[in-house]
Amino acid sequence: MVNKKILVVYATAGIGHKKASLAIKAALDEIAPKDAHITIIDSLDYTNRFFKWSYLKIYLTMVNRLPTFWGLGYFLTDNYYVHLLVAKLRRLNNWANSGRFRRYLVETRPDVIVSTHFFASEIISRMKEKGEIQSRLITVVTDYRLHSWWVAPRTDMYVVAGEAAKEDLLRWKQDPDRIKVLGIPVEPVFSKSVDKSTILAKLGLREGVFTVMNIGGGFGLGPIESIVKVIDSISKPVQIIAICGHNKDLIKRVEGLKAGLKNHLTVLGFINNVNEYMAISDVLISKSGGITSTESLASGLPLIIVFPIIGQETRNSDFLTSSGAAIKIDKLDQLRKVLEDLATHPDKLKKMREDIKKIARPRACYDIAKLALEMCGGN
């Protein structure tokens, strides 16, 4: 393969799509031939400033302040007949605001494009249909179930997390030969073995103490302060790790809890070594975002799901709980009982870890990178 070009593209509508792309890029950098040209971009950087700002702003506003309305819209637009009514308008709007992105693709002409967000896949699919580019398109779905927005007819290969997402694609009449079950990509470090004693010492934490990790995602969402207080209230000694993402105000508020707690609390913002904290934790408390959930699975870390966003996250939650990898609570006052039970019965945590092994695909980033290289060689 000589001077083959692979473009990895995402859209910053939540941190997860970017992290998935970075994972694939890291795997490609590790295994691709030296003469392969690997590039990664945010497709929204190639739209106008207002469109990029509003794309993320509208999403965050909806899931934080109008979650029921967001969920209603999510499920309605996944209905075949509603999809027929609204898809053309949405696609027209995206097309009208993607001029610079389309020009970039025409100018660079990558051999293979790996897309981890439906915005980019939709535009690329339309360009292929119009004959403007001949790039081969891999669409990587970053949730455990699939919404109609992910369907891009000129996708050459879909990559999905499991059979449930594959069935969703088949429901939308997609060719089964163009679907591969490879998993959701997380960073290569999640597939490497680690020395827990070394990590505990480095992080200043003790061995043999029940360790609970709470993540609020990249934007620090959810009632992290309340969750920390509940964790601290269990009868067993516990170490608490609270990751607050980019939410600086939340970091300060959670730090302020330390004086009133009886257990050790580590407070962090957005970090690049989340794999190390997951490796030494006994349980993770989080929403069921696609990437965070997959990082948990790759780490063999049981998950307690709290307040998932109605739509993609509730569907992820259903998949994870039915697989035995997670426990979902509907009210915060249920959390203490669940934590007490897991802390007192390590056999239950062991069973969850065994169930996790059945569905975890920690090397998905490498499998997707190999697929991209194979498709590149096939041009």
Residue range 275-279: average pLDDT?
95
Tell me how many domains the chain contains: 2
* Sheet order of strands, 112-115 included: 37-42, 5-10, 112-115, 136-140, 157-160, 179-181
257: burial class by Cβ within 10 Å (0-12, 13-18, 19+)? middle
Q: Are residues 116 and 234 in the same domain?
A: no
Q: Are residues 373 and 349 in the same domain?
A: no
Please tell me the distance from the alpha carbon of residue 137 to that of residue 376, in angstroms, as a whole number. 10
Residue with tokens 């000589």: 2
Of 1-5, 211-215, 284-288, the one with minimum mean pLDDT is 1-5
Asked whether 177 and 188 are in contact (CB, 8 A), the reply is no
What predicted TM-score, i.e. pTM, was given to this entire model?
A: 0.94
Q: How does DSSP classify residue 325? A: S
Q: Are residues 79 and 179 in the same domain?
A: yes
Give the confidence band of 219 by pLDDT, cuts at 50, 70, 90: low
Q: Under the phi-then-psi rule, with left for phi > 0, alpha for psi from -120 to 50, and beta for the rest, what region is 238?
A: beta
pLDDT given at position 359: 96
Give the confidence band of 247 by pLDDT, cuts at 50, 70, 90: confident
Give the confidence band of 193 by pLDDT, cuts at 50, 70, 90: confident
Residue range 98-127: average pLDDT?
97
Q: SS3 for 329?
A: strand
Which of these, 375, 290, 373, lies nearest to 25 by C-alpha position?
373
Residue range 257-279: average pLDDT?
93
Please say if the pLDDT value at position 220 is more than 80. Answer: no
Please tell me the distance from the alpha carbon of residue 184 to that of residue 17, in angstroms, as a whole number. 10
Pairing of strands 238-243, 264-268: parallel
Residue range 343-356: average pLDDT?
97
Q: Are residues 150 and 203 in the same domain?
A: no
Look over the chain and give the mean of its residue pLDDT values, rounded to a whole number: 94
Please say if the pLDDT value at position 344 is more than 70. Answer: yes
Which of these, 323, 329, 147, lies nearest to 227 by C-alpha position?
329
Please say if the pLDDT value at position 12 is more than 90. Answer: no
pLDDT given at position 41: 98
- What percent of the chain shows pLDDT beyond 70? 97
Q: Are residues 177 and 319 in the same domain?
A: no
CB atoms within 10 A of CB 283: 24
Please say if the pLDDT value at position 379 is more than 70. Answer: no
| Cα–Cα separations (whole angstroms), residue 55 to 47, 58, 351 | 10, 6, 41
**CA triplet 96, 80, 102: central angle to 5 degrees?**
20
Those residues whose C-beta lies under 8 Å from the C-beta of residue 221, and which sit 6 or more positions away, are: 63, 64, 245, 247, 287
pLDDT given at position 218: 60
Q: Are residues 245 and 299 in the same domain?
A: yes
The boundaries of the domain holding residue 78 are 5-186+363-377
Residue range 136-158: average pLDDT?
97
Q: Are residues 228 and 174 in the same domain?
A: no
Q: Are residues 46 and 104 in the same domain?
A: yes
Please say if the pLDDT value at position 2 is more than 90. Answer: no
Task: Give the helix ranges, DSSP H, for 37-183.
Answer: 49-65, 67-76, 80-96, 99-108, 118-129, 163-171
Residue range 113-121: average pLDDT?
97
Domain of residue 320, CATH code: 3.40.50.2000
Q: Are residues 174 and 51 in the same domain?
A: yes
More confident residue, 247 or 238: 238
Please say if the pLDDT value at position 161 is more than 50. Answer: yes
More confident residue, 88 or 101: 101
Q: Are residues 17 and 140 in the same domain?
A: yes
Q: Are residues 227 and 277 in the same domain?
A: yes
pLDDT given at position 90: 92
Please say if the pLDDT value at position 37 is more than 90. Answer: yes
Q: Are residues 204 and 315 in the same domain?
A: yes
Please say if the pLDDT value at position 378 is more than 50. Answer: no
Residue range 108-119: average pLDDT?
97
